[in-house]
A and B are shown apart, each in its own frame.
Chain A
């Protein structure tokens, strides 16, 4: 019998950073979960798994939502729980068909709060055209959870005319971003009320499926890779791309759309917008001959007018992400290390 593959995860205990979506998360998944659960050759770890069922390939994904506060400008946990999973399927080239949902509720949670979130889920599911097919509920003692956690698991069918595979990425391909980054993460940071400043900012949470569908219709054969840059931000997704395709991702700083309120908050707190979470954007790698068609299609689709080509794939720096500044300087952009913490002093 073959022996278990080696466990490379050596961190003595679980820290918050292991859930932040950056380097530590990757270490945990690749070092412990993948070798024991996914077998020796898990392949690139995407946003959804492709599973063959009786000759039909379906996309399958799951995501847990533990956001605090439960509601924030632009959205709430219930709406995130639906769209997060719909989006993971969308950027895997799939249309979500059905979800099942698990609620972990803290004893003492007011029914009105739960009802509002269930209504938000129903609304989001209707808008995304996805059926909630079942679920499970657990209640834990007061103080053992932060009001409520929601897990959604979704299945979807693959869109025709698109084959996503990081190994198909070539030098010269364009890196496309669907819209401004950082809105969600900064909105949440401000909604926690710990910072004494306000900004006119809303979470970008939405289903990105309509945009993905428009993109695939216009440029399907040229779409090589997609990812929604949630925790860990665009920097982490693009580093994963660079690693998985073995090529360099070169970004042009001036092309990356960031709202002034997000830039301002990041300047004040010493954060990089590229490390801030998003809930309604996606990144794509497009063959150069399809880039114009892709941008035009997104510009015509609702919510896609701010889509931009933000960079391109090059031979070098292989396996890394480099950003060039307007005046000829450059720096390497790493994955998020730990949680993004504000710098004060």
Chain B
């Protein structure tokens, strides 16, 4: 398969692993955060932890949009869809995410009209096909998915489609990284930067991380070789004492991003003054809402939204895990009260969440093979 197989070539991968071992040496410990949930998933799926030396520690970042969504937002969205004239449309990612009274799938089993869509434009298609119903698209994601929501809203407006709205939970990645860097217990040396988000925003928005925070960052692809190459590039910078933004994922990510996508986002969205992130708390200017010119398509303005707030159980230490202070299995709830089938905390919710990935791959592997040391 083109663009996939050449980045999974075993020989190239062992070469990269060898170079990493050579560069990393043994004197010091390196702590790198992969920001994006897609990277977390790939690292576990391909068993990359097994081939990295022990002194390279990968910390799983906040880049899983499902994980960082507060439960109250799910409750709010589902409460709108209690109206039998409303169709609740969302990506498959959202379907098993628990609200206080169950996930969208559980609501569907109880009779709610819940549909899985593969893009926001599919939700708009549903609205066209069901003129007697109202279709609410429950939008999630970083800058990766926000442009397609924006374009869909522009089309709805142009076509004058009234029975469609968006419950907007789009968030932006930079403020989340800033929140992590600002936290007093931060102990990161470098970042593996998000690949998909950067196809839209480009590389410039990360420059402050290098300049002001003094941390190297490499925008990375998602294949095993991409991730290992990014680690190599970070090690080169760290060894030279440099801190700059580099782009490993040049085949997909242009330095300037995608201006057309950014224009669409700017036409439709504005920054919220603040937004709650599950596990990280309130972060200012970290999320998007619809501009007033799109108020007719804004589910939060068209419907009465209860504004439910659900705090995670105190014992869940999602924030500490997100910041890399604790490893997933060091949380008190991990693997006992909190499992992928019955998640309590944010990071257990999606397979890209660091706790779920850790549970599915490392934890079970450690349990069944009786290994005691798990990095």
Chain A contact residues, CB within 8 Å of chain B: 13-17, 23, 194-196, 248, 260, 263-264, 267, 270, 316-320, 322, 324-332, 334, 337-339, 341-345
From 172 to 222 in chain B, residues with beta carbon under 8 angstroms from any chain A beta carbon are: none
**B122 on interface, CB distance cutoff 8 Å:** yes
Cβ-defined contact, A330 with B47, below 8 A: yes
Known: A15-B106, A23-B341, A337-B340. A344 touches B92 (CB 8 A): yes
Cβ-defined contact, B92 with A341, below 8 A: yes
- A315 nearest CB across to chain B (Å): 11
**B345 on interface, CB distance cutoff 8 Å:** no
Query: Which residue of the partner chain, among B14, B47, B118, contacts A195 with CB atoms under 8 Å?
Result: B118
User: In whole angstroms, what is the CA distance A13 to B368 when docked?
Assistant: 31
User: In whole angstroms, what is the CA distance A317 to B364 when docked?
Assistant: 10
**B17 on interface, CB distance cutoff 8 Å:** yes
**B119 on interface, CB distance cutoff 8 Å:** yes
Known: A332-B365, A345-B141. A327 touches B109 (CB 8 A): no
Interface centre among B47, B93, B118, B365 (most CB of A within 10 A): B47
Cβ-defined contact, B93 with A332, below 8 A: no
A residues in contact with B122, CB < 8 Å: 194
Cβ-defined contact, B140 with A260, below 8 A: no
A residues in contact with B224, CB < 8 Å: 327
Across the interface, name the chain B residue whose C-beta is closest to A195: B118
Known: A15-B106, A260-B1, A338-B96. A327 touches B368 (CB 8 A): no
User: In whole angstroms, what is the CA distance A190 to B47 when docked?
Assistant: 30
User: In whole angstroms, what is the CA distance A260 to B3 when docked?
Assistant: 12
* CB 8 Å contact bits of B332-375 with A (1 = contact, 0 = none): 00000000110000000011100000001100110011100000
Give 19 new A-B contacts, CB below 8 A, not counting A267-B4, A324-B47: A13-B106, A15-B106, A194-B116, A194-B122, A316-B369, A317-B365, A322-B368, A327-B46, A327-B51, A327-B224, A329-B50, A331-B361, A332-B361, A332-B365, A342-B118, A343-B350, A343-B352, A344-B145, A345-B65
A residues in contact with B65, CB < 8 Å: 345
User: In whole angstroms, what is the CA distance A267 to B66 when docked?
Assistant: 19
User: In whole angstroms, what is the CA distance A325 to B365 when docked?
Assistant: 14
Chosen A-B contacts, 29 in total, with CB atoms closer than 8 Å, are: A13-B109, A13-B110, A14-B109, A16-B108, A194-B117, A194-B118, A263-B1, A267-B1, A270-B41, A270-B351, A316-B368, A316-B370, A325-B46, A326-B10, A327-B51, A329-B46, A329-B49, A329-B50, A330-B50, A331-B44, A331-B45, A331-B361, A332-B360, A339-B105, A341-B95, A342-B91, A343-B92, A344-B119, A344-B145
Cβ-defined contact, B368 with A248, below 8 A: yes
**B308 on interface, CB distance cutoff 8 Å:** no
Query: Which residue of the partner chain, among B92, B93, B109, B368, contacts A319 with CB atoms under 8 Å?
Result: B368
**B317 on interface, CB distance cutoff 8 Å:** no
- B9 nearest CB across to chain A (Å): 9
User: In whole angstroms, what is the CA distance A224 to B109 when docked?
Assistant: 40
* CB 8 Å contact bits of B1-19 with A (1 = contact, 0 = none): 1001000101001100100
Cβ-defined contact, A341 with B93, below 8 A: yes
User: In whole angstroms, what is the CA distance A196 to B125 when docked?
Assistant: 12
- A328 nearest CB across to chain B (Å): 6
Known: A316-B369, A343-B92. A328 touches B1 (CB 8 A): no
A residues in contact with B14, CB < 8 Å: 327-328
Across the interface, name the chain A residue whose C-beta is closest to B121: A196
A residues in contact with B230, CB < 8 Å: none
A residues in contact with B4, CB < 8 Å: 263, 267
Cβ-defined contact, A327 with B10, below 8 A: yes
Cβ-defined contact, B361 with A345, below 8 A: no
B residues in contact with A263, CB < 8 Å: 1, 4
- A313 nearest CB across to chain B (Å): 14
* CB 8 Å contact bits of B113-148 with A (1 = contact, 0 = none): 000111100100000000000000000111011000
Across the interface, name the chain A residue whose C-beta is closest to B363: A332
B residues in contact with A318, CB < 8 Å: 368
User: In whole angstroms, what is the CA distance A194 to B126 when docked?
Assistant: 11
Chain B contact residues, CB within 8 Å of chain A: 1, 4, 8, 10, 13-14, 17, 41, 44-51, 65-66, 91-93, 95-96, 105-106, 108-110, 116-119, 122, 140-142, 144-145, 224, 340-341, 350-352, 360-361, 364-365, 368-370
User: In whole angstroms, what is the CA distance A248 to B41 when docked?
Assistant: 24
User: In whole angstroms, what is the CA distance A23 to B341 when docked?
Assistant: 9
Query: Which residue of the partner chain, among B116, B340, B369, contacts A341 with CB atoms under 8 Å?
Result: B116
Cβ-defined contact, A264 with B1, below 8 A: yes
B residues in contact with A325, CB < 8 Å: 46-47
Query: Which residue of the partner chain, among A264, A320, A327, A345, contacts B13 with CB atoms under 8 Å?
Result: A327
Cβ-defined contact, A331 with B1, below 8 A: no
- A336 nearest CB across to chain B (Å): 11
- A9 nearest CB across to chain B (Å): 14
Cβ-defined contact, B47 with A331, below 8 A: yes
Across the interface, name the chain B residue whose C-beta is closest to A320: B368
Cβ-defined contact, A332 with B92, below 8 A: no
B residues in contact with A322, CB < 8 Å: 365, 368-369
Cβ-defined contact, B360 with A334, below 8 A: yes
User: In whole angstroms, what is the CA distance A343 to B67 when docked?
Assistant: 13
Query: Which residue of the partner chain, among B47, B142, B370, contacts A328 with CB atoms under 8 Å?
Result: B47
User: In whole angstroms, what is the CA distance A263 to B2 when docked?
Assistant: 11
Cβ-defined contact, A196 with B368, below 8 A: no
User: In whole angstroms, what is the CA distance A299 to B341 when docked?
Assistant: 41
Query: Which residue of the partner chain, among A14, A317, A326, contacts B369 with CB atoms under 8 Å?
Result: A317
Across the interface, name the chain B residue whose C-beta is closest to A27: B341
User: In whole angstroms, what is the CA distance A101 to B66 when docked?
Assistant: 44
Known: A341-B116, A342-B116, A343-B351. A328 touches B50 (CB 8 A): yes
Cβ-defined contact, B50 with A345, below 8 A: no
User: In whole angstroms, what is the CA distance A106 to B92 when docked?
Assistant: 29
Cβ-defined contact, B145 with A345, below 8 A: yes
Cβ-defined contact, B51 with A345, below 8 A: no
- A335 nearest CB across to chain B (Å): 10
Across the interface, name the chain B residue whose C-beta is closest to A197: B118
User: In whole angstroms, what is the CA distance A319 to B13 when docked?
Assistant: 30
